[in-house]
Structure 1
Amino acid sequence: MENTNGKEVEPFILENNVGNVISQGDNIDETLANVNNVSLPEESEKIEDEAEEVTLKEMIDCSEWRQNHKHVFILSSAGKPVYSRYGSEDKLATIFGVMQALVSFVQDSDDSIRSIHFEQNIMVFSIKGPIILVAVSNRKDSIEFISTQLTYVYNQIVSVLTLSRVTKIFEKRHNYDLRRLLTGSERLIDHLLTFSETQPEFLLDAVSCLKMQSAQREAISNAIISTCSKIKTLVFAMLIGCNRLITLVRRKKYSLQPSDLHLIFNLVNSSESFKTAESWTPICLPNFDATGFLHGHVSYLAENCQACLLLLTVDQNIFFELSAAKKAIVEKLEKNQLFDVINEGLKKPNLTVNDIPKIYKMRHFIFKCKKSSHLLSPVLPVLYNTPAAANNLMFQYQQLYSTIHQPGSLLKLAFQQLPNETMLGWVTEKFELMVTFEPLINKRSATDGAKKLSQIIEKDEDKFFIQNIYNF
């Protein structure tokens, strides 16, 4: 078996030394024959009986796997199905059983399974306490990127239930069917997976901001601060729209990581009901506090506006106070003609490649400001306007990112010439930049183009990124 660099890889990647149990020469059928000796929970007797007839090859050949390049499963450590990205969890019960058996087999040797490679496929495992997450991809996705996706999916579950509740549930009943508590939340996971595969923010752990003059952004922030500063239990206030952050105001000493902001974006984008009425919803932000809920007042500024205001508090009894605050904020924005600024900004993309002074043979780029963890990327040009072309470009960015960020690597510049495009990745103390060029550009020209691009962006970074920290 070969990895993306053409080097031999072991089909099973494990944390410690159990790899000697599964040698590189073993095939998947022989391995599963050993795995089938692992006992499964009594509640999964049907899975146990059928597991011997299922090979990993058959699993990949079923229709759900053939039609979709990446499948994601969630199950409990007892083998109970929780979620399947495609298909019915109940109909795929045998597959869940095999996955649980694989994990148990390795854990019995005091080890932890990370991934399995077979043919062009990769199977990645992430074990989070009593929850097992598995992704199977039929293209050469990096283990790191898939692992990040699985962590996001796990965090989405925690966001709905809190870590404390998940822990207590499985301490009382290890074979609990978690689907009972997640009914209706599948759409959040579905949307999150699609979001993470199509938006560069997930790859670079960053957030895009709405482009505007810094004075306008400060005026919007001040409208929120002046209204909400006396609400002592309010922790965060943010205005978002079209997957872009307009402003974020926070209580001093508190901050939000991009991964938590992504969950907030996902919640808003997945819920049409927020557009029709003010909502009061609990939300756990795992990197802020995985053990408890914040309570969010969520509402759009107006029916004809795509900007959504979220006021997050630790007090579950102040809905009406926050509702009044929202109305006051809207009045201030309208009075200062900021409502129109927001509306007009959201109606158009932040940037197109044509907005950048001509850079030789450049097609697209992704730029991350390290200081703020904010990101800038233009809309995809016509060449990449089909789902297949857009997905392929994102896949190439993923591969380039993995090349630069290999564990232990000191690589700061990567240049890759591919059949359809040339990619350049550049990491400095201030920023990360990945650029797509036409396929025949040479390294010198690509490097010069990347330097020119970084200078252009840094010149206007106060428009593209939120430079100031706004506190109540």
Structure 2
Amino acid sequence: MHRNRGSWGFQPEDTLIEDSGEFPSSLELNGQKTELLAGCAMDVPGLSHRNEDVTSESWRKHRKHVFVLSDAGKPIYSRYGNEEALSSTMGVMMALVSFVQAGGNTIQSIFSDEHTVVFLQQGPLVFVSVSTTHQSEQQLRGELLHVYHQIVSMLTQASIKRIFEHRKNYDLRRLLFGSERVLDSLLDVMDFDPSFMLSAVQCLPLPSSSRDILSNILQKSITPNLVFSFLIAQNRLVSIVQEKTVAEDTRLKPSDLHLLLNLIRASSAFQAGEIWMPICLPLFNHDCYFYAYVANLDPPECTICLVLLSTDKEAFYAMAECKRKIEQAFMSQNALECVANSQMYCVEDVGVNNLRHFLYKPSNVMEHHRQLPQFTCPEMAVPYKSQEERIRLLDLYRNMHNRIHSTSRPLKLIYHSADGETLLAWVTGKFEMYACFTSLVTKKSAISELTKLLRWIKKEEDRLFICHLPKYSTTSQSGRVSTDRGRSDRANASDAGFMSLL
């Protein structure tokens, strides 16, 4: 039996076993101890590079390296190669950081003819990106910040700080062991997913009537201390409902959803059935855990996923009951069929001449759009089918994004003619758009075609975006319910079972 607290509040994170660095090796699921084996739910590029020879030419030729180390110089993570083999390299990086700090400054970046080296220090952790791409310093630092947030999502910022205050030379790999695939996956997906560049989430195109049915079912299937309910399909957001008091104090950021989606995508444990685990959403509250119930609704395909976030660490059975009610309602209304049959649209569906691809991020889709920025884009088509070409196109978009959002000289419109395509970036008070045309399109023609594209998007708006954010109440208390990031009851050490999932 679970207590109804009448309001929801966070559990402060104090769950790490700092002296031993150990985690429980199993979780209590449905009253039985179920071992969760390491694995990967998808072919994550780069996992084969874990033991790559760091003296080889192939290691040096990677387009982007990412290193994580402690401010004591202890290696924590390397995108390519073994951290131990790179300990001397990371030692040099830390020496640079310390040398500049000794002069009362903070090292930001180093530029050479072929490489850009960007540094980011967050508390006791130092992040370094060594890139041969044309990304700006700001964009590379943003990617490092995502890596930091992914680590925080597993350990919380409070725990990281406390560990290194207690023991400055602590080897954080002991707590992150097995999570390398999560960080690898994050870095891979950032290369070809525009969600991170736009700071927005992509929704699965769905008729508004079908989306409303799904949202209404989630809205009615609630339990005390349930804060968010997500339905995810094909790694895209289908529906989200939330406790109505959330908006009064804070809001869910796209970055937190990106981290959650990456965690689900990178681990095969989430295909094992019902999973109950602590997870921190760093931009929502970087010091406390939510407790996530994750279940696939269409085994064995595992393309439709239900995620319920609670603030009660004892709420597994309550969440499982919510899932049962949701499944029953979905079955009785045949609601998941529309999700299973939904397809991403292609650029030919738009009917705009010479258009190859586009990214569109509105500013006013719904009343609370700032809570959940969204974007839409068609499936990649020829000539951007290969991963290499997809990355190349996104690099072009990144260059346009950097120029149009320049802090020194922001722009409203950019027309750029590249070797194989023509690009146009356009930012107004209502939208932000990046479009790719064939190479011979003139500026005047491109703007004219974009006007047609805007009409098509307006017509399809209800299908492409979540235009209404359903809410519910799990408490009968009147007035404002606090989302106090407080320091109430400390959680038990046995709750820190995150790494056993990986």
Name the TM tier (shorter chain). Answer: 0.7 to 0.9
Partner of 1:281: 277
C-alpha contact 2:271 2:302 (8 A) present in aligned 1: no
| 1:299-338 aligned within 5 A | 299-303=295-299, 304-338=301-335
Deviation of the 1:334 alpha carbon:
1.2
Decide which structure has greater helix share.
1
Instruction: Report the number of matched residues.
Output: 408
Q: Name the amino acid aligned to 1:459.
A: K
| 1:22-41 aligned within 5 A | none
Normalised TM-score (structure 2): 0.79
What SS does the aligned partner of 1:435 have? Answer: strand
User: Equivalent of 1:71, from 65, 75, 81?
Assistant: 65
Q: Distance in 2 between matches of 1:61 and 1:286?
A: 36
C-alpha contact 2:192 2:394 (8 A) present in aligned 1: yes
Do residues 110 (structure 1) and 104 (structure 2) align? yes
Q: Name the amino acid aligned to 1:297.
A: Y
Q: Distance in 2 between matches of 1:305 and 1:140?
A: 36
Which deviates further from its counterpart, 240-249 or 298-307?
Answer: 298-307
Partner of 1:182: 176
| 1:253-264 aligned within 5 A | 253-254=245-246, 255-264=251-260
What SS does the aligned partner of 2:394 have? Answer: helix
Do residues 352 (structure 1) and 349 (structure 2) align? no
C-alpha contact 2:54 2:86 (8 A) present in aligned 1: no
Partner of 2:219: 225
Between 1 and 2, higher relative CO (CA 8 Å, sep ≥ 6) is seen in 2
C-alpha contact 1:206 1:375 (8 A) present in aligned 2: yes
Q: Name the amino acid aligned to 2:152.
A: V
Q: Distance in 1 between matches of 2:147 and 2:460?
A: 35
Q: Name the amino acid aligned to 2:168.
A: H
Do residues 290 (structure 1) and 286 (structure 2) align? yes
Partner of 1:368: 361
C-alpha contact 1:364 1:380 (8 A) present in aligned 2: yes
Partner of 2:234: 242
Partner of 1:432: 432
Partner of 2:407: 407
What SS does the aligned partner of 1:288 have? Answer: coil
| 1:386-465 aligned within 5 A | 386-465=386-465
Q: Which runs of 4+ in 1 moved over 6 A?
A: none
Q: Name the amino acid aligned to 2:288.
A: G
Q: Name the amino acid aligned to 1:209.
A: C
Partner of 2:157: 163
C-alpha contact 2:374 2:465 (8 A) present in aligned 1: yes
C-alpha contact 1:209 1:244 (8 A) present in aligned 2: yes
Normalised TM-score (structure 1): 0.84
Q: Distance in 1 between matches of 2:152 and 2:263?
A: 13
Q: Distance in 1 between matches of 2:55 and 2:302?
A: 46
User: Equivalent of 1:342, from 339, 344, 361?
Assistant: 339
Q: What is the aligned-residue RMSD (CA, Å)?
A: 1.5
Deviation of the 1:227 alpha carbon:
1.4
Q: Distance in 2 between matches of 1:144 and 1:340?
A: 42
Give CA-to-partner distance per residue, 1:271-328, whole Å, 9 cap, x none: 2221221000110000111001000110011314511000000101111111111011
| 1:181-200 aligned within 5 A | 181-200=175-194
What SS does the aligned partner of 1:447 have? Answer: helix
Structure 1 unmatched ranges of 5 or more? 1-58
| 1:373-384 aligned within 5 A | 373-384=373-384
Deviation of the 1:60 alpha carbon:
10
Q: Name the amino acid aligned to 2:95.
A: A
Q: Distance in 1 between matches of 2:379 and 2:138?
A: 26
C-alpha contact 1:65 1:71 (8 A) present in aligned 2: no
Do residues 100 (structure 1) and 97 (structure 2) align? no
